Chain A
């Protein structure tokens, strides 16, 4: 059943090691850019480059916006990982962007109106250790997943802001209603957010997860205030602002996350692990008992990653794809049993879910997560 390692594995390993470090974007007042820079001429309809091949290393982009709209310029590594970017380049202005770029294939995009995928040009950074070719289908999957992840962050902000406003207004009822829903985008993409290391402990830590000297901040601190003491202190109000600031940080950085087909596949499995260890037990939302919405969001995020990888996985391991299709459907059906249209988050309170039903959910998670743990192998192998 298990197929041979293909060169794709090596390609991914190389790609993963080629972490291009995003450099700082510097404003350059001297029009036309400095000597040796790649000139990027942006307009409302074009993105012209002075060269499409340049030596890897410290690379400068001299950007001039000749269009009528505000634009932004991105340098993307395969899978649309942002190597560097510069927003808010006004009409008629010039800026210089610098970055450390390792050898390999990249894309430079201008985004007139700061929207969409942009006008893209393929470029190559030359030098030793160039990236091996990766299956374009996998690159496409990574790019689409990154887009999904960004959209989750973008959509989370207004929901979280609504929650924060209610907290600051001292409206316990409204805050309770907004709480679980504000977490959905986060829960769908948590492994990516966790890859930064610093954001997760600020926004999603539980009281028992605090390390010595760590101040408790984020959703669960507010959850405790709302459901346990049912009172909002001044400190809680300040924490609501802090939550929004941290989530904005996440929104801004999520596009730079290192995402590979393997990390997508294993991230999907990790989402189910989250369910298995935290949600099924009711530990995650111990005050609000909104675990089932988190549960659903974790499953949705895992399913998204799987669906994007499915074309490759089903070719390499059709049996596995069949099993995963089946088990995703099965877990959704199990979750549907606990829906409640009258509740704010769409599910019954988890403290009303009996032991038998919890075991059913737990069995369902095992049934899905076990084959899901084999997805990474299926996207890096070929028959």
Chain B
């Protein structure tokens, strides 16, 4: 939930370790150039690479003043870390977890290469393969076409591998068992969990974030299509209205409970905090994960109707912050230092705070979801929680243990889906591919 992991506020620095060119392979025509705008998309991609923080500097009215011409820009695909973690959080999400259906290691590798190639193209705003139009009349086009004419929309595709890729039902499926990171643990059962198997787990995951939902959905749809026969979608989740910001200078977004969420989230430009809490270090264990991160995904259902019948005072007491400004109990401004002792011992913010959890901090980029109604006339809505951390064992787990046990918010929420994934480091260049280091030299 609104896991308000407070921490020291740090000066922003530009994301400096990403290459300045987002164009992945061979300068295929971008969706933009199909519109006749020539290389504008590529040029903007380069601007965005200089620092996404620049694009989201707040205006005088407190709202992010995003220059129109950067809204649709491309986020560089290649770099030390995968895009979509420290990247300024986009507005929309399509997250998908996949089962690998082939037993053939070579086929899996071929798929990851094909996926990487398609991902590089899509994030640059280009169509998959030979495009959506202009191919053989007798055959379905390589690209499904619904993103044709749309700008790159800051699409990022972030790839991860789940524990079952290394071992499933006691079987070492791809010869990877010995390469499983210790930190990629099977999550313990937390009190109150009501996990649906069909919305949990997965051998692989791809997180697609974009400012346009159509672009995010297009990306997952095309990756699934490329993969049919080797992978199958296990479950997926659409999200809207980011609930955490990695750009603390922008206005803090609100979750479905109406509360500001992510006031003290780790900034995407705070390299010191990212190195300390998010990126896996060279000595952390296995080499192939250095520069990567660990992702926990939780589908958290909110009991919206009962929450809406809760008094304002109770709502604010539950969180430990006020609803309008977002100020901690007893303080005036959202960003004032919280006095934890002034809050209820069971207040959400107090329990989630690093001081309560041995300094544990995570980078959150969750989204709200609303999947219609649940058949009982209740809104099937909540938070799709996504958190990145250097080690889940001293990131999500201690925080969630503290929350699951005592958080008074639990009366209004339930964790119904869960996944954990190792997110490898970034794809370095056009010869590199998702998971190459994992599969080692034999690939």
**Could you say which residues of chain A place their CB within 8 Å of the CB of B140?**
373-374
**Could you say which residues of chain A place their CB within 8 Å of the CB of B139?**
373-374, 376-377
Known: A2-B130, A363-B101. A370 touches B138 (CB 8 A): no
- Chain A interface secondary structure, helix, strand, loop or mixed? helix
- In the assembly, what is the distance between CA of A374 and CA of B130, in Å? 13
Q: Chain A interface: which of B177-185, B225-233, B256-264, B306-314?
A: B225-233
- In the assembly, what is the distance between CA of A376 and CA of B140, in Å? 9
Known: A2-B130, A363-B101, A367-B101. A377 touches B228 (CB 8 A): no
**Could you say which residues of chain B place their CB within 8 Å of the CB of A377?**
136, 138-139
Q: Within 8 Å of chain B (Cβ to Cβ): is A133?
A: no
- In the assembly, what is the distance between CA of A327 and CA of B107, in Å? 13
Check B136–A381 contact: CB distance below 8 A. yes
Q: Within 8 Å of chain B (Cβ to Cβ): is A29?
A: no
**Could you say which residues of chain B place their CB within 8 Å of the CB of A367?**
101, 228-230, 232
0/1 per residue, A303-330, Cβ < 8 Å to B?
0000000000000000000010011000
Q: Of all chain A residues, which has the CB nearest B101?
A: A363
Q: Of all chain A residues, which has the CB nearest B232?
A: A363
Check B229–A327 contact: CB distance below 8 A. yes
Check B229–A9 contact: CB distance below 8 A. no
**Could you say which residues of chain B place their CB within 8 Å of the CB of A363?**
99, 101, 228, 232
**Could you say which residues of chain B place their CB within 8 Å of the CB of A370?**
225, 228-229
Q: Within 8 Å of chain B (Cβ to Cβ): is A95?
A: no
Q: Of all chain B residues, which has the CB nearest A371?
A: B229
**Could you say which residues of chain A place their CB within 8 Å of the CB of B99?**
363
0/1 per residue, A368-383, Cβ < 8 Å to B?
1111011011001100
Q: Within 8 Å of chain A (Cβ to Cβ): is B135?
A: yes
- In the assembly, what is the distance between CA of A2 and CA of B138, in Å? 12
**Could you say which residues of chain A place their CB within 8 Å of the CB of B230?**
367
The residues in A between 344 and 368 inclusive whose CB is less than 8 angstroms from any CB of B are 355, 359, 363, 366-368
- In the assembly, what is the distance between CA of A336 and CA of B99, in Å? 22
Q: Within 8 Å of chain B (Cβ to Cβ): is A31?
A: no
Within the complex, the shortest CB–CB distance from B311 to chain A, in Å, comes to 41
- In the assembly, what is the distance between CA of A376 and CA of B229, in Å? 19
Q: Within 8 Å of chain B (Cβ to Cβ): is A5?
A: yes
**Could you say which residues of chain B place their CB within 8 Å of the CB of A380?**
136, 138
- In the assembly, what is the distance between CA of A207 and CA of B99, in Å? 36
Check B229–A262 contact: CB distance below 8 A. no
Known: A366-B228, A370-B229. A262 touches B138 (CB 8 A): yes
**Could you say which residues of chain B place their CB within 8 Å of the CB of A359?**
232
Check A376–B101 contact: CB distance below 8 A. no
0/1 per residue, B110-142, Cβ < 8 Å to A?
000000000000000000001000011011100
- Chain B interface secondary structure, helix, strand, loop or mixed? loop
Q: Of all chain A residues, which has the CB nearest B104?
A: A326
- In the assembly, what is the distance between CA of A367 and CA of B225, in Å? 9
Q: Of all chain B residues, which has the CB nearest A378?
A: B139
Within the complex, the shortest CB–CB distance from A242 to chain B, in Å, comes to 37
**Could you say which residues of chain A place their CB within 8 Å of the CB of B232?**
359, 363, 366-367
Within the complex, the shortest CB–CB distance from A4 to chain B, in Å, comes to 10
**Could you say which residues of chain B place their CB within 8 Å of the CB of A326?**
229
- Residue in contact with B136 in the complex, picked from A2, A323, A366, A371, CB distance below 8 Å: A2
Within the complex, the shortest CB–CB distance from A272 to chain B, in Å, comes to 11
Within the complex, the shortest CB–CB distance from B224 to chain A, in Å, comes to 8
**Could you say which residues of chain A place their CB within 8 Å of the CB of B130?**
2
Q: Of all chain B residues, which has the CB nearest A324?
A: B229
- In the assembly, what is the distance between CA of A363 and CA of B198, in Å? 15
Q: Of all chain B residues, which has the CB nearest A373?
A: B140
- Residue in contact with A376 in the complex, picked from B138, B225, B228, CB distance below 8 Å: B138
- In the assembly, what is the distance between CA of A381 and CA of B137, in Å? 11
Within the complex, the shortest CB–CB distance from B33 to chain A, in Å, comes to 21
- In the assembly, what is the distance between CA of A377 and CA of B232, in Å? 25
The residues in B between 86 and 107 inclusive whose CB is less than 8 angstroms from any CB of A are 99, 101
Within the complex, the shortest CB–CB distance from B168 to chain A, in Å, comes to 15
- In the assembly, what is the distance between CA of A373 and CA of B136, in Å? 12
The residues in B between 211 and 264 inclusive whose CB is less than 8 angstroms from any CB of A are 225, 228-230, 232
- In the assembly, what is the distance between CA of A367 and CA of B227, in Å? 8
**Could you say which residues of chain A place their CB within 8 Å of the CB of B225?**
370
**Could you say which residues of chain B place their CB within 8 Å of the CB of A5?**
136
**Could you say which residues of chain A place their CB within 8 Å of the CB of B198?**
355
**Could you say which residues of chain B place their CB within 8 Å of the CB of A262?**
138
**Could you say which residues of chain B place their CB within 8 Å of the CB of A323?**
229
The residues in A between 265 and 316 inclusive whose CB is less than 8 angstroms from any CB of B are 265-266
The residues in B between 167 and 205 inclusive whose CB is less than 8 angstroms from any CB of A are 198
Check B135–A368 contact: CB distance below 8 A. no
13 contacts between A and B (CB under 8 A): A5-B136, A265-B138, A355-B198, A363-B228, A366-B228, A367-B101, A368-B229, A370-B225, A371-B229, A373-B139, A374-B139, A376-B138, A377-B138
Instruction: Using CB atoms and an 8 Å cutoff, list the residues of chain B in contact with chain A.
Output: 99, 101, 130, 135-136, 138-140, 198, 225, 228-230, 232
Q: Which 7 A-B pairs have the closest CB atoms?
A: A377-B139, A367-B229, A363-B232, A370-B228, A376-B138, A366-B228, A377-B136
Contacts A2-B135, A376-B138 aside, 20 further interface pairs with beta carbons under 8 A come to: A2-B130, A9-B136, A262-B138, A265-B138, A326-B229, A355-B198, A359-B232, A367-B228, A368-B229, A369-B228, A370-B225, A370-B229, A373-B139, A373-B140, A374-B140, A376-B136, A377-B138, A377-B139, A380-B136, A380-B138
